[in-house]
Amino acid sequence: MPLTINPPPQRLLSAQEIAAWQAIPAAVVSDELNRAGAMVAGIKALAPGMTFVGQALTAQCMVADNAALHYALTVAWPGAVLTVDAGGFLGNAVWGGILHYAAKKTGLAAVVVDGAMRDAAEIRVSGLPAFSRGVVPTGPHKAWGGAINGPIQCGGVAVSAGDLLIGDDDGIVVVRPDQMPGLLDRCRARIAKEKETLARIDKGEKTVDLVGLPPADKVGR
């Protein structure tokens, strides 16, 4: 499989546009996307408290091979989220401490791998968020190709270069450009509504009533 390097996304969001999403939880975004756009539960942060927002720099690897990821860092832009389709394979790590160090120097916002990482202890304290399907000590090969900035899947979700990714302790949600209009305002409104719900619980109201559930004897009928 030859290595293909496609052009970067045509529009990069400004620092201000990215910052506006920093306070929005991934779960809220997924709710406003009709419970869609979230990667599977297997894609998790290597340490609690890792959060990020940024646009996808996509990479597809041959299973157990990470040559494409080295080349991806040569075309990365500051604030990019390197989003990797490594086939979900957990027998070999395609990402480790040296690449992670280089990624931080490049200015990436995060690294997400649908596959395995290694050197987890280094990565956890690096300050650069890292999410993966698993951790294994076995290293990668560098004999094959791949594709950069092309369409991929990661965690069961289609991802294109330039898509917005939001990650936190719950996982990662992907937002396509066509889904962006009005989404931030809807997320903020949902957060405000949830705060109001908590206040009503403090006053003694029950969640059964707050979410509009029927009497117990009517459930399932």
pTM: 0.95
pLDDT at 203: 96
3-state SS class at 28: helix
CATH 2.40.50.100: does it fit domain 3-178?
A: no
DSSP 106-173: HT-SEEEEEEEE--HHHHHTSSS-EEEEEE-S---B-SS-EEESS-EEETTEEE-TT-EEEEETTEEE
Containing 55, the helix (H) or strand (E) segment is strand 52-61
Q: What is the pLDDT along the chain (221 residues), one digit of tens a residue?
A: 689 999 999 899 999 999 999 999 999 999 999 999 999 999 999 999 999 999 999 999 999 999 999 999 999 999 999 999 999 999 999 999 999 999 999 999 999 999 999 999 999 999 999 999 999 999 999 988 899 999 999 999 999 999 999 999 999 999 999 999 999 999 999 999 999 999 999 999 999 999 999 988 888 87
Beta strand 171-175 with 93-95 is unpaired
Q: What residues have CB less than 8 Å from 150, skipping those under 6 apart?
A: 4, 6, 58, 60, 161
pLDDT at 62: 92
Spell out the domain ranges in the chain: 3-178, 185-212
Task: Compute the distance between CA of residue 63 and CA of residue 82 in angstroms, rounded to an integer.
Answer: 17
Classify residue 4 by burial, with Cβ atoms within 10 Å: 0-12, 13-18, 19+.
Answer: middle
